[in-house]
């Protein structure tokens, strides 16, 4: 995006951060921070909730690539504000506490509204905001800011739920107050995006001097034929599995660590405050070192922590070792999310191809929305309690190893193609 005045420039980033988190608050914050309450109020099993997320994931999977094409053709302001408004409408429906079938349809609807018009537009706008030299900062600030808002909003929501429960109302009424809160901020964000983001989003291009002949090939064919895109997608899919794994930490706290539902919500909320620091720090390091190298190191830390947790799961108490490794996985996952899209710039992909590339990376990278919840829900239902979570953490350690290998392969690919590309700042 055009820099303009400094104040205006940073106001745009703040709005991107706000919109980038709020859009997912209804479909993800409630199941993540209030999962035990959601399972009880809607009378869902782990498997059913996993299948509901799979429905969301299938629709999102189909929406990512066409959403990327839309982002290359229409202003982010138009796409994002419409996405937020339509997503908020679904919140009003969830407030009515629909039956299981209605929730399936609602999450399918959210899979379209939160992805088709939004995701690629957000990532492209963030890349343009960062320019050629501040990709780590741009995406680190985006993820860190989103994390801060997620923690802030969930803290307010936890307060609302606790106040309702202390007042003697039902768990269902308390959850409704949470739903209404998230619906309101989603609708308000649509208005803020419309009046803050510029109507036009001119592209910067560090490849502006490239020969015109490169433009003769349709950009979607260039993207589909580029192996760098698929290696980035492999990194994202493994990192996103790590992020999705955090959704079950609240259940782990209740079923294994013997916490109350409210205490588990407080635990996941407090741990989520590590997200801003982890993402911003990772962004700063990525601009000074190399996103692909830093991602490799983060996957190694995550792998070790998940393996340790797989052994500690049978202990069944909130020991210092358990809590320390929980925190390590939070930090590693949030740091990965803060920088994995900065790989688009490190790989040297054309700015004009950003939307389409992000669409393709997201089709593969966010496929866990389709299978992760269904897979892990069945895993936990088949082995209730500590044994199920022991298997769960072993699975996550293996996924972290795969992510490390994808990041190494991408780093080697970039060095072999561009020997001088040793870091973003080089």
**What domains sit in the chain, N to C, each tagged with a CATH number?**
6-197+226-416 (1.20.1250.20)
Q: pLDDT tier at 9 (50, 70, 90 boundaries)?
A: confident
Overall size of the chain counted in residues: 426
Record the pTM. Answer: 0.74
Q: What pLDDT is stored for residue 316 in this prediction?
A: 56
Cα–Cα dist 228/350, whole Å: 12
Q: pLDDT tier at 212 (50, 70, 90 boundaries)?
A: very low
Q: What pLDDT is stored for residue 252 in this prediction?
A: 86
Cβ neighbourhood burial of 23 (10 Å; 0-12, 13-18, 19+): buried
pLDDT in tens, 378-410: 888 888 888 888 899 999 999 999 999 999 999
Residue 216 has pLDDT above 60, yes or no: no
Least Cα distance to 198 among 121, 134, 86 occurs for 121
Least Cα distance to 411 among 283, 295, 288, 287 occurs for 295
Torsion sign over Cα 86, 92, 94, 96: negative
Higher-scoring residue by pLDDT: 287, 208: 287
Contact by Cβ (8 Å): 67, 117: yes
Q: What pLDDT is stored for residue 151 in this prediction?
A: 79
Chain centre distance of CA 119: 10
Average pLDDT over residues 268-296: 87
Q: What pLDDT is stored for residue 314 in this prediction?
A: 58
Least Cα distance to 402 among 227, 237, 230 occurs for 237
Phi, psi values for residue 425, rounded to 5°: -85, -5
Residue 155 has pLDDT above 90, yes or no: no
Q: What pLDDT is stored for residue 95 in this prediction?
A: 95
Cα–Cα dist 337/286, whole Å: 12
294-298-302 Cα angle (round to 5): 170
Q: What pLDDT is stored for residue 425 in this prediction?
A: 36
Q: pLDDT tier at 371 (50, 70, 90 boundaries)?
A: confident
Cα–Cα dist 351/330, whole Å: 31
pLDDT in tens, 350-360: 777 777 888 88
Average pLDDT over residues 367-377: 84
Cα–Cα dist 417/308, whole Å: 38
Torsion sign over Cα 323, 325, 331, 334: negative
Cα–Cα dist 122/95, whole Å: 27
Q: pLDDT tier at 200 (50, 70, 90 boundaries)?
A: low
Average pLDDT over residues 219-238: 85
If one counts every other C-beta atom within 10 angstroms of the C-beta of residue 387, the result is: 14
């Amino acid at each position: 995006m055009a820099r303009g005045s400094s104040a205006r420039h940073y106001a745009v980033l703040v709005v991107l951060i706000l919109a980038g988190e709020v859009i997912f608050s209804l479909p993800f914050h409630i199941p993540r921070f209030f999962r035990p309450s959601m399972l009880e109020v809607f009378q869902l099993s782990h498997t059913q909730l996993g299948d509901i997320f799979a429905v969301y994931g299938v629709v999102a999977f189909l929406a990512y690539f066409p959403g990327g094409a839309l982002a290359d053709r229409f202003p982010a302001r138009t796409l994002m504000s419409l996405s937020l408004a339509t997503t908020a409408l679904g919140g009003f429906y969830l407030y009515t506490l629909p039956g299981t079938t209605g929730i399936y349809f609602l999450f399918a609807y959210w899979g379209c509204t939160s992805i088709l018009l939004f995701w690629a537009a957000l990532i492209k706008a963030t890349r343009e905001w960062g320019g050629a030299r501040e990709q780590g900062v741009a995406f680190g600030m985006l993820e860190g800011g989103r994390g801060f808002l997620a923690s802030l909003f969930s803290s307010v929501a936890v307060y609302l739920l606790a106040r309702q429960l202390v007042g003697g109302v039902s768990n269902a009424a308390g959850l409704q107050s949470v739903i209404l809160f998230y619906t309101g901020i989603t609708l308000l964000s649509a208005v803020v995006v419309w009046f803050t983001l510029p109507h036009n989003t001119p592209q910067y291009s560090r490849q502006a001097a490239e020969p015109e002949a490169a433009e003769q090939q349709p950009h979607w064919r260039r993207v589909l034929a580029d192996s760098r895109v698929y290696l980035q997608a492999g990194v994202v899919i493994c990192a996103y599995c790590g992020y999705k794994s955090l959704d079950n930490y609240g259940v782990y706290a209740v079923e294994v660590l013997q916490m109350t539902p409210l205490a588990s919500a407080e635990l996941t909320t407090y741990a989520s405050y590590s997200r801003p620091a982890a993402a911003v720090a990772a962004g700063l390091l990525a601009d000074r070192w190399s996103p692909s190298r830093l991602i490799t190191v983060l996957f190694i830390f995550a792998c070790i922590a998940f393996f340790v947790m797989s052994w500690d799961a049978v202990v069944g108490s909130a020991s210092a070792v358990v809590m320390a490794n929980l925190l390590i996985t939070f930090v590693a996952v949030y740091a990965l999310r803060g920088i994995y899209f900065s790989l688009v710039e490190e790989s040297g992909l054309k700015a004009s191809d950003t939307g389409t590339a992000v669409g393709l990376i997201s089709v593969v990278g966010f496929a866990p929305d389709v299978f992760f919840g269904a897979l892990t829900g069945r895993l936990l239902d088949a082995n209730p309690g500590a044994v199920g979570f022991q298997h769960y953490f072993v699975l996550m350690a293996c996924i972290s190893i795969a992510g490390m290998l994808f990041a190494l392969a991408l780093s080697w690919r970039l060095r072999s193609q561009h020997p001088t590309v040793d870091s973003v700042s080089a």
